């Protein structure tokens, strides 16, 4: 599942979280100079002004990217060995016409847009098997498998019930918005919420909160409505597709053998896919063309974005992620952004092998740690740096989301965390970036924090190409901006902990601190 969240719900439910609107490019600013907990990228460029950079390829494994966006078109990677649309695999890498990347979730019969959750797919497979058997007469391995299936069934039914409840809540929001519009002659604005005649206390409180959010400039009324509709669509699709035979749909559309996790060569070159909003937003955070008087400034200034489409609306498949990593590595990426995740990984071995392959080729993997306010020390999301063998990848960064504010609420209330699993936090709240058709919006999630970190890592790889992936990780960990106070633990209202109790480094990524360290400019203590 793409690691993004419904910003409307975030803003409404955590109104006290944000005090004022920050600059559109707050993620590039610096806490010391600008009093904003960004990545310090702008200051890093001042530190590195006399040093030459080397172009770095950053692969974005995601839902797809709009390669023609006005703020991205000049930073999209082009395969130098491939001629566009001639049906010939000039570079003999097994992927025909992969000019800007590859799509592992499309085929001759169409594109995967919506998918079931991994848990639902596991449940559906088990249900197809055991619904045909007399479960009172099972023998051998079937007995153990049926016991596992019963656990899966319980977990799936719980997940489905929670999704249906979320659907009701979002539908309530949408119905409320319609009521406000109806009372205001079809117009939805701040004044409409302020003068709305509420039906009950719940509506009155909601109208007051939304009016305050709009007043703060955090979101426009029409944007709010759009976000709620998108949330309704996302959750309703989740409920719908979790009930379907996802494997059958996949086989028809993509045409690969879903049982062959080692299969490599399938898919097409439809980089954008049916919905490239998420991947385009992620790419803009990393590399939107800097100082072109359009939209935003990406964090990294000398990168090319390689498009790897492998993440649907729903849970990604291990096979596609493994192949996406391998494709990126084989075609020159040295940083891979992975703004997705899930809590079940039936083919983890294949992903582990791909991560090990990336490690052997000195490629840094940057992963969003999740948006469920969970402690990843207790429940690890996948993919992860932990191999089945018990070893750990040295080329891996796990990133949580933070806001621009300093103080107790600086960690995003939705972000996962973990003193043993999450490396540090990076900008992930109210991040303004690119979306298809030359548009821009603000989004929140660890999906935004991961590219904030990937862009920062790309800066280090641009200006210090001699560093290994593990060394890039180490310097970013060593040079985080620390915070000595306590912060509210995500998922709680009042519980506070120190930063080193919710992350390994105890701080926030900072490109300038890393640049200063590598240039030998940090003061000796």
Strand partners, 268: 103
Strand partners, 507: 482
510/525 Cα distance (integer angstroms):
19
Query: Looking at the structure, do residues 66 and 138 belong to the same domain, yes or no?
Result: no
**Residue spans of alpha helices (H) in 112-220:** 118-130, 141-183, 190-194, 201-215
pLDDT along the chain (525 residues), means of 10: 47 46 88 95 98 98 98 98 95 97 97 96 96 94 96 96 91 92 92 93 90 78 81 89 96 96 97 96 98 95 98 97 98 98 97 98 98 95 96 98 92 96 96 96 94 98 98 98 95 94 98 97 61
**CA atoms within a 13 Å half-sphere pointing along the CA-CB vector of 256:** 24
Query: Looking at the structure, do residues 164 and 104 belong to the same domain, yes or no?
Result: no
Asked whether residue 524 is assigned to any structural domain, the reply reads no
347/326 Cα distance (integer angstroms):
15
432/444 Cα distance (integer angstroms):
9
Query: Looking at the structure, do residues 94 and 122 belong to the same domain, yes or no?
Result: no
Q: Tokens representing 150? A: 């019963």
Asked whether residue 261 is assigned to any structural domain, the reply reads no
39: how many CB neighbours lie within 10 A of its CB?
30
Asked whether residue 260 is assigned to any structural domain, the reply reads no
Query: Looking at the structure, do residues 362 and 466 belong to the same domain, yes or no?
Result: yes
Torsion of CA 224, 227, 231, 232, to 10 degrees: 70
Query: Looking at the structure, do residues 377 and 509 belong to the same domain, yes or no?
Result: yes
Query: Looking at the structure, do residues 302 and 154 belong to the same domain, yes or no?
Result: no
Q: Would you say the pTM of this structure is higher than 0.75?
A: yes
Instruction: From 187, 220, 239, give the residue that closes a domain.
Output: 239
Q: Tokens representing 334? A: 């040295």
Asked whether residue 347 is assigned to any structural domain, the reply reads yes
8 A C-beta contact, residue 296 and residue 434: yes
Asked whether residue 251 is assigned to any structural domain, the reply reads no
Pairing of strands 396-402, 486-488: unpaired
8 A C-beta contact, residue 10 and residue 448: no
Residue partners of 460: CB distance under 8 A and separation at least 6 = 467, 472, 475, 476, 511, 514, 515, 518
Query: Looking at the structure, do residues 510 and 497 belong to the same domain, yes or no?
Result: yes
What is the number of domains present in the chain?
A: 2
Model pLDDT, residue 2: 52
424: how many CB neighbours lie within 10 A of its CB?
25
Domain of residue 160: give its range: 118-239
81/62 Cα distance (integer angstroms):
24
Ramachandran sector of residue 56 (left: φ over 0; alpha: ψ -120 to 50; beta: rest):
beta
Asked whether residue 193 is assigned to any structural domain, the reply reads yes
For residue 466, cis peptide bond before it (omega within 30 degrees of 0): no
Q: Tokens representing 380? A: 């690890």
The CA-CA-CA angle for residues 119, 388, 145, to 5°, reads 45
CA dihedral sign of residues 510, 516, 518, 523: negative
8 A C-beta contact, residue 129 and residue 353: no
Query: Looking at the structure, do residues 277 and 176 belong to the same domain, yes or no?
Result: no
Query: Looking at the structure, do residues 155 and 53 belong to the same domain, yes or no?
Result: no
28/67 Cα distance (integer angstroms):
23
DSSP symbol at 372: S
Query: Looking at the structure, do residues 178 and 87 belong to the same domain, yes or no?
Result: no
What is the three-class DSSP state of 429? coil
54/459 Cα distance (integer angstroms):
9
CA–chain centroid gap for 66, Å, is 17
Asked whether residue 348 is assigned to any structural domain, the reply reads yes
Query: Looking at the structure, do residues 157 and 180 belong to the same domain, yes or no?
Result: yes
256/266 Cα distance (integer angstroms):
6
Query: Looking at the structure, do residues 288 and 333 belong to the same domain, yes or no?
Result: yes
Asked whether residue 523 is assigned to any structural domain, the reply reads no
CATH of the domain at 488: 3.40.50.200
What is the three-class DSSP state of 351? helix
Model pLDDT, residue 148: 96
8 A C-beta contact, residue 1 and residue 480: no
Q: Report the chain's C-alpha Rg in angstroms.
A: 23
């Amino acid at each position: 599942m793409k690691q993004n969240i419904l910003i409307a719900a975030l803003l409404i439910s955590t109104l006290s979280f944000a005090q004022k609107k920050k600059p559109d490019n707050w993620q590039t600013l610096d806490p010391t100079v600008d009093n904003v907990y960004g990545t310090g990228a702008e200051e890093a460029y001042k530190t590195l002004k006399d040093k030459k950079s080397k172009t770095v390829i950053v692969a974005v494994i995601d839902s797809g990217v709009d390669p023609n966006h006005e703020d991205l078109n000049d930073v999209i990677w082009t395969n130098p060995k491939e001629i566009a649309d001639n049906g010939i695999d000039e570079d003999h890498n097994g992927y025909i016409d992969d000019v800007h990347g590859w799509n592992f979730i499309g085929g001759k019969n169409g594109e995967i847009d919506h998918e079931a959750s991994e848990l639902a797919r596991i449940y559906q497979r088990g249900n197809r098997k055991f619904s045909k058997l007399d479960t009172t007469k099972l023998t051998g391995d079937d007995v153990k498998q049926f016991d596992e299936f019963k656990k899966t069934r319980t977990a799936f039914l719980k997940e489905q019930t929670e999704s249906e409840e979320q659907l009701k809540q979002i539908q309530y929001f949408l119905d409320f918005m319609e009521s406000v519009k109806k009372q205001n002659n079809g117009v939805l604005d701040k004044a409409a919420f302020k003068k709305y005649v509420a039906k009950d206390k719940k509506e009155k409180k909601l109208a007051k909160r939304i009016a305050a959010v709009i007043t703060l400039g955090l979101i426009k009324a029409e944007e709010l409505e759009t976000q709620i509709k998108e949330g309704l669509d996302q959750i309703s699709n989740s409920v719908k597709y979790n009930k379907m035979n996802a494997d059958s749909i996949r086989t028809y559309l993509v045409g690969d053998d879903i049982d062959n996790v080692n299969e490599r060569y399938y898919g097409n070159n439809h980089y954008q896919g049916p919905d490239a909003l998420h991947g385009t937003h992620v790419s803009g955070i990393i590399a939107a063309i800097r100082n072109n008087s359009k939209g935003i400034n990406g964090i990294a200034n000398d990168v090319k974005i390689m498009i790897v489409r492998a993440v649907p609306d729903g849970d990604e498949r291990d096979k596609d992620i493994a192949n996406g990593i391998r494709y990126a590595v084989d075609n020159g990426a040295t940083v891979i952004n992975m703004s997705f995740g899930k809590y079940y990984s039936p083919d983890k071995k294949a992903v582990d092998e791909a991560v090990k392959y990336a490690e052997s080729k000195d490629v840094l993997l940057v992963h969003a740690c999740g948006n469920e306010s969970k402690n990843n020390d207790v429940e690890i999301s996948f993919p992860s740096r932990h191999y089945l063998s018990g070893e750990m990848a040295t080329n891996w960064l796990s990133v949580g989301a933070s806001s621009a504010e300093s103080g107790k609420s600086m960690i995003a209330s939705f972000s996962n965390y973990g003193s043993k699993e999450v490396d540090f936090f990076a900008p992930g709240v109210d991040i303004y970036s690119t979306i298809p058709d030359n548009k821009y919006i603000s989004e929140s999630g660890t999906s935004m924090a991961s590219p904030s970190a990937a862009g920062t890592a790309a800066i280090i790889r641009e200006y210090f190409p001699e560093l290994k992936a593990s060394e890039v990780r180490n310097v970013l960990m060593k040079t985080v901006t620390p915070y000595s106070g306590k912060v509210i633990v995500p998922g709680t209202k009042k519980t506070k902990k120190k930063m080193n109790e919710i992350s390994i480094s105890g701080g926030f990524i900072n490109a300038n601190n890393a640049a200063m360290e590598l240039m030998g400019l940090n003061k000796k203590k």
